[in-house]
Amino acid sequence: MTNEFLVSVADVILRDPQTKAGIAYGKANISSAFNLSMSSADVRAGINNPLIYSYYHTRELGITVNQAIFTETILALNAGATVSTGAVNVLQTDCVSLSSSGSGVITLTPVGNVEVFLADGSIQTVTPTVKNITVSGANSQIVTAVYVTSKSADQITIESVKPPSIVDLTLIAEIRASDQTTVKKYLQINVPRFQVAGNYTLDFAADGVSNETLEGKALVSTANDCTSGDYYAKVTYIPVSSTTTYSSIAAVPSTISWAKGTAESTQISVLGIRGGVYANTNITSDCTFTRSGSSGSGITVGATTGLISTSASSTTIDETIRIDVNYPSGSLVDYVMINVA
């Protein structure tokens, strides 16, 4: 068996939890983490207080993604906000070369006064004439003009009580063979209801780039049927090869008993068995079915469906018929016995 390894970082896809419309696709992640944890309550009793039972509870699933690129999306999700686009008031800074009379022209039309920072550390408040300013005692100087102006921009409002967003989150990573180049499987982790934690830190560094982190916990999703429980996530291992290897197959039922002179039909189901922690898989549609043994009765079997049937007039004698079941991949074989009496 070839050793397999989970390598590198996972891509992340964010979608709307109801409509499944795309929100973001992160392909420049630095790190991503999947953390499943539980708490337990220990019951001890008897001489020397041995552990006799542990009750496990409070299962939690947390995910953290640290990305290198910088976008509006991460902050918006943490704030539970949308990114609005339109005319907003922003702060503008200009480097202005003043004339010998102390006058200069700023880049944009200001809203209100202009604050001028001079080289000696002093600050003057100047009332502009459209884009023209005149600074007293600053003849032929280079100054910094700071003012409010209107621009078309993206803006996120961080409200005080609004909770962070809930999204559909999927992580996709590669599982490779020990030769480091062959991709064997893709690991896909889907969290249908991922509650963003709302914790956001933006570090500014003189010698590097800023990173953004998306972290949070999975919220429980309701099961689609009565046979399985509510869940946090579904983890899928998608093989690059479409063929799954089974150690054996099991045809169900293995024995069928029919009475003579009756019309009967039975559907054979075939399970692919891998063993260990792997659940059995229904592979009926991938199998072929052939009849062997007695040829006297009118019992028929669908070569690709596994449906066995007969009419009342066809089962008039005692006989035993075998149906051979073949799974071509790996040449696995099982059989079903039909007893007519």
Alpha-carbon dihedral sign for residues 36, 41, 43, 44: positive
For 3, other C-beta atoms within 10 Å of its C-beta total 9
**Does 277 fall in a domain?**
yes
**Does 44 fall in a domain?**
no
User: Are 15 and 71 found together in one domain?
Assistant: yes
CB 13 within 8 A of CB 172: yes
User: Are 74 and 189 found together in one domain?
Assistant: yes
Give the pairing of strands 319-327 and 288-293: antiparallel
**Does 212 fall in a domain?**
yes
User: Are 75 and 192 found together in one domain?
Assistant: yes
User: Are 77 and 166 found together in one domain?
Assistant: yes
Domain boundary among 124, 155, 186: 155
Which pLDDT value is given to residue 240? 85
Which pLDDT value is given to residue 318? 74
**DSSP letter, residue 154:** E
User: Are 71 and 180 found together in one domain?
Assistant: yes
User: Are 283 and 325 found together in one domain?
Assistant: yes
CB 161 within 8 A of CB 112: no
For 161-188, what is each residue's pLDDT tens digit?
999 999 999 999 999 988 777 888 899 9
User: Are 141 and 218 found together in one domain?
Assistant: no
**Does 42 fall in a domain?**
no
Instruction: Give me the CATH number covering residue 169.
Output: 2.30.110
DSSP string, 16-66: -TTT--EEEEE--EEEEEEEEEEEEEEEE-STT--EEEEEEEEEEEEEEEE
For 200-232, what is each residue's pLDDT tens digit?
999 998 998 999 999 999 999 998 888 889 999
**Does 243 fall in a domain?**
no
pLDDT mean over 37-63: 96
User: Are 142 and 279 found together in one domain?
Assistant: no
Which pLDDT value is given to residue 340? 83
**Does 43 fall in a domain?**
no
Q: Which two tokens stand for residue 257?
A: 């008993």
Task: With cut-offs at 50, 70 and 90, classify the pLDDT of residue 139.
Answer: very high
How many domains is the chain partitioned into structurally? 3
Q: Which helix (H) or strand (E) holds 143?
A: strand 142-155
**Residue 103: beta bridge partners?**
134
Instruction: Give me the CATH number covering residue 286.
Output: 2.60.40.60
**Does 20 fall in a domain?**
yes
**CA–CA gap between residue 14 and residue 203 (Å, rounded):** 24
For 77-128, what is each residue's pLDDT tens digit?
999 999 999 999 999 999 999 999 999 999 999 999 999 999 999 999 999 9
Task: With cut-offs at 50, 70 and 90, classify the pLDDT of residue 17.
Answer: very high
User: Are 71 and 166 found together in one domain?
Assistant: yes
Q: Which two tokens stand for residue 95?
A: 């480097």
CB neighbours of 26 closer than 8 A, spacing ≥ 6?
A: 11, 12, 13, 14, 65, 67, 69
Instruction: Give me the CATH number covering residue 93.
Output: 2.40.30
223: domain range? 4-37+54-81+161-238
Residue with tokens 């947390």: 62
Which pLDDT value is given to residue 102? 96
User: Are 58 and 183 found together in one domain?
Assistant: yes
CB 294 within 8 A of CB 320: yes
User: Are 95 and 77 found together in one domain?
Assistant: no
Read off the amino acid at residue 223: A
**Does 45 fall in a domain?**
no
| SS3 assignment, position 108 | coil
Global confidence as pTM = 0.73
Domain boundary among 127, 155, 183: 155
Task: With cut-offs at 50, 70 and 90, classify the pLDDT of residue 296.
Answer: low
User: Are 210 and 90 found together in one domain?
Assistant: no
Domain boundary among 130, 155, 180: 155
